[in-house]
Amino acid sequence: MSDYKISKIKVSVVKTQSAGADYTDHAEGHWINDRIIANPMSVYKEYQHSRSSWGMDVLKGIFIQIYTEGGHEGFATAYGGYLSTWVIKKHLERFLIGADARNFNKLYDQMYRSAIPYSGQNGVVINAIAGINLAMWDLVGKIKNEPVYNLIGGKVRDKLHTYVTGVQPKMYKEWGHFGAKYPLPYGPGDGPSGLKKNQEIFMELRKEVGKDYPLMIDCYMALSVPYAIDLANALRESNIYWIEEVLPPHDLESHKYIKRACPWQRWTTGEHTNTRYGFKKLLEDKSVDIIQPDVTLCGLSEVIRIMNMASAYDVTVIPHCSGVYAYNFGIASEMTPINEFINLSPNGDKIVPVFGKIFTDEPVPKDGYISLSDKPGFGVTLNKEVELEEVKF
């Protein structure tokens, strides 16, 4: 009987809304879906009013539970809905049953290599591997009775200063956060008048938060190289702290043209790039100032590899979203001066956990900072009231 020998994997789709790793799964009227926000589909006017109209929220979160012979359990919420549950049960499970849960590197590598013929670098297959990796960290932390941050090098800071993504920047400043990130409303499909409207909106927001408060913009893959350059120039007076994810992940290469044209602007990207291979080019080119891997979508082991690469290039790593998984990484990463806290209350005006109802005790910021407990694993407890549909295939 071994404490660490994996005996069973249970995978479920999260059925309760506003619970789990799909941060877009919310009721109608929520700012994350139903608002004019530039995105890859907003060039099509019929889909511009709402990101759920084209299916941004279609996948849903999943919940992965890993059990060992010794009666231990680790779990994680992950992304990819029924697609990733299928990948886990029909393919990846074979590498895990009977394996030692401490073998993070070998198991990540086996799962990754075995999926190369059909997976690609980003998306639900990699996200399924990531979810298993997170559940393994939770499991091993619980067996060793240590929080995950102590297993990956220990704290480099006592608490995390957070910036907030959402639609109430002035409020986030008053709450004591490092900065505020606001979604860009208009994109290339809206032409020069849309660019003008963007300019007015951010001039107004700059007035609201005052001259020096860090104000960032999220562009959610909506732009082109010329539009990104035009936007940075149009907003130069508004002193934008960073402009995020202007291009889709299939064109990381072109960030270098944007950086070359506007070197005075901080540029960031990476939330839809899920392995170290995607980040390699960005780092070599020094074409962005900050990279933003998503810990839920990459897995903790892969984000640590990405952070080590970024460290050699002196590029800051500020993970995207990822709730408690990003906090455990951030508190142990010398390359991570601040963490994101996405405000997922319907109007962005109340503090709620990033993963919603799925855990009873996910840490949230207080006065602009998040503190982590010393509970083992990721330190969170499953909320039994959340409906999980176990998927067996």
What's the closest the beta carbon of residue 351 comes to Mg ion, in angstroms? 19
- Residue 387, both tokens: 């409906």
Spell out, one character per residue from 83 to 122, where the chain touches Mg ion: x when CB under 5 A holds, - when not.
----------------------------------------
What's the closest the beta carbon of residue 254 comes to Mg ion, in angstroms? 18
Positions marked active-site: 320
Alpha-carbon distance 365 to 42, whole Å?
32
What's the closest the beta carbon of residue 96 comes to Mg ion, in angstroms? 31
What's the closest the beta carbon of residue 221 comes to Mg ion, in angstroms? 9
What's the closest the beta carbon of residue 244 comes to Mg ion, in angstroms? 5
Q: Which stretch binds Mg ion (CB under 5 A): 134-142, 188-196, 215-223, 282-290?
A: 215-223
Using alpha carbons, list the distances in angstroms from residue 374 to 146, 314, 325, 336: 7, 30, 14, 20
Alpha-carbon distance 391 to 35, whole Å?
33
What's the closest the beta carbon of residue 219 comes to Mg ion, in angstroms? 8
Q: Closest by alpha carbon to 220, among 304, 319, 320?
A: 320
Using alpha carbons, list the distances in angstroms from residue 383 to 68, 356, 386: 22, 10, 6
**With respect to Mg ion, which residue has the nearer C-beta, 101 or 219?**
219
**340 counts as binding Mg ion under rule CB under 5 A:** no
Q: Which stretch binds Mg ion (CB under 5 A): 57-65, 85-93, 238-246, 378-386?
A: 238-246
- Spatial neighbors of 199 by CB under 8 A, at least 6 apart, are 234, 235, 238
**With respect to Mg ion, which residue has the nearer C-beta, 166 or 356?**
166
**With respect to Mg ion, which residue has the nearer C-beta, 87 or 184?**
184
CA within 13 Å, CB half, 66: 33
Q: Which stretch binds Mg ion (CB under 5 A): 65-73, 134-142, 213-221, 275-283?
A: 213-221
Site for Mg ion in 246-275 (CB under 5 A): none
**With respect to Mg ion, which residue has the nearer C-beta, 218 or 362?**
218
- What are the percentages of helix, strand and coil residues in the chain, rounded to 5? 35, 15, 45
**With respect to Mg ion, which residue has the nearer C-beta, 138 or 245?**
245
Residue of closest CB approach to Mg ion: 218
**294 counts as binding Mg ion under rule CB under 5 A:** no
- Spatial neighbors of 126 by CB under 8 A, at least 6 apart, are 112, 115, 119, 120, 274, 275, 297, 298
- What is the size of the binding site for Mg ion (CB under 5 A)? 3
**With respect to Mg ion, which residue has the nearer C-beta, 309 or 321?**
321
Alpha-carbon distance 260 to 256, whole Å?
6
**218 counts as binding Mg ion under rule CB under 5 A:** yes
DSSP 3-state of 342: strand
Q: Closest by alpha carbon to 136, among 92, 91, 81?
A: 92
Alpha-carbon distance 32 to 21, whole Å?
14
**With respect to Mg ion, which residue has the nearer C-beta, 183 or 365?**
183
What's the closest the beta carbon of residue 56 comes to Mg ion, in angstroms? 12
Q: Which stretch binds Mg ion (CB under 5 A): 98-106, 245-253, 323-331, 338-346?
A: 245-253
**Cα 69-73-77 angle, rounded to 5 deg:** 140
Q: Closest by alpha carbon to 340, among 370, 362, 304?
A: 370
Alpha-carbon distance 95 to 80, whole Å?
20
Alpha-carbon distance 57 to 220, whole Å?
14
Q: Closest by alpha carbon to 351, among 338, 331, 330, 369?
A: 369
What's the closest the beta carbon of residue 23 comes to Mg ion, in angstroms? 11
Q: Which stretch binds Mg ion (CB under 5 A): 57-65, 98-106, 236-244, 294-302?
A: 236-244
**With respect to Mg ion, which residue has the nearer C-beta, 182 or 378?**
182
Q: Which stretch binds Mg ion (CB under 5 A): 29-37, 208-216, 243-251, 384-392?
A: 243-251
Task: Give the residues lining the site for Mg ion (CB under 5 A).
Answer: 218, 244-245
